[in-house]
Amino acid sequence: MTTASPRDEDRSVLVAVTTFRRTELLSPLVAAIRAHAGDSGRNMRIALVDNDPMRSAEQTATSLGVDYVSEPTPGIAAARQAALDAATPGELVAMVDDDVLPQEGWLDALLSIWAASDHPAVVMGYVEYVWPEGTDPWIVAGGFMRRRRRRTGQQLDALATGNVLIDATQVDGLGVRFDTRLGLAGGEDMLFGRSLLAAGASIVASADSVVRDEIPVERTSREFVRRRTISQGQMRTRLLTRDGSPVRRFALRVAHLAGGLLRLVVFSSRGLLARWRGDMTAEAVLRRRTWFAQGRILGAVGRITPEYARN
């Protein structure tokens, strides 16, 4: 890999924190961003992108001495697009979720691989999920809320936006935007990544950029991971069957329905065998796959439960 030029090293970076009514998390997060950015922190500014119409994070932004961006349109897709729109010309945008804590050198690692990889549209870092002590071993074994750590420099064919660096100018030039029509549904990162790749852009991994997601206790129940997994299956089917002519969309829904039914039978049967054998890990993984298949079936018949539904 080539060495980053001084011009690359001096690029300004907007660190955008998308948030919705979790102001108690913002002070330690901003402190971690500042403490662990590395040399890139010299040219960094931080903005809280508030998706709350009541502007609940505005006072926090003022007290922390960071920029404030209000995006009242509900949904994470709208908040992420507002973060890109807040960038100045030539500025890179690093996005982190409001429930993570960046680790040492996380921003340096993103910026260095961007410079060394001929300026890809996106560099995707790693989100390390950490289960709290006492979590049901079955949930941990099932692989719920887990990310695969890709090797640094690897070209990716999918995107997750919990820890990324985006070349906002390049993305804007390609005409790619987050789809705000998704509302409170998830999947905005998958669609964004697919659109970038279709436009000829590249997504590159940085294994050395790490943020930790300390999973709250209320998300450690089997009921929570069941609902979340089913919702993810629903949304995946919806996103993969939304384009094309009515005939094509109908054919895709039928295919996803058939695929979901087949997987439901196979995974359920194998899960029962695993449970009979006493293989907890296999049974948990197969249960997760069964729930995802259920979501695919529901999505194929038009039943969608938004992943980020609000009370």
* Residue 9: per-residue pLDDT: 63
* Residue 238: per-residue pLDDT: 79
Distance CA 121, CA 164 (A): 10
* Residue 3: per-residue pLDDT: 41
Q: What's the pLDDT tens digit per position in 233-280?
A: 888 887 777 777 888 888 888 888 999 899 999 999 998 999 999 899
Boundaries of every domain in the chain:
6-217, 222-300
Q: Is 50 helix (H, G, I), strand (E, B) or coil?
A: strand
Residues of the chain with pLDDT under 70: 1-9, 182-186, 304, 306-311
Q: For the CA atoms of 196, 201, 206, 212, what is the dihedral angle to 10 degrees?
A: -20
Distance CA 15, CA 178 (A): 17
* DSSP code of residue 63: H
Domain 6-217 has CATH 3.90.550.10: yes
Residue 245's alpha-carbon distances to 163, 184, 234, 242, 302, in angstroms, are 35, 25, 21, 9, 17
Q: What's the pLDDT tens digit per position in 32-74?
A: 999 998 888 888 999 999 999 999 999 999 999 999 999 998 8
* Residue 159: per-residue pLDDT: 84
235-240: long-range contacts, CB 8 A cutoff, minimum separation 24: 235/185, 235/186, 235/187, 235/295, 235/299, 235/304, 235/307, 236/187, 236/190, 236/295, 236/296, 236/299, 237/295, 237/296, 237/298, 237/299, 237/300, 238/185, 238/187, 238/299, 238/304, 239/187, 239/190, 239/191
What is the enclosing helix (H) or strand (E) of 161?
A: none
Distance CA 178, CA 18 (A): 14
Distance CA 76, CA 184 (A): 7
* Residue 309: per-residue pLDDT: 53
Cα dihedral 33, 172, 232, 55 sign: positive
Query: What token pair was written down for 223?
Result: 């009921």
* Residue 4: per-residue pLDDT: 42
Whether the model pTM is above 0.85: no
Contact predicate 207/148, CB 8 Å = no
Instruction: For residue 220, give the nearest of 140, 162, 311 by alpha carbon.
Output: 140
Which amino acid is located at 236 in the chain? R
Match 């507002």 to its residue by tokens. Answer: 82
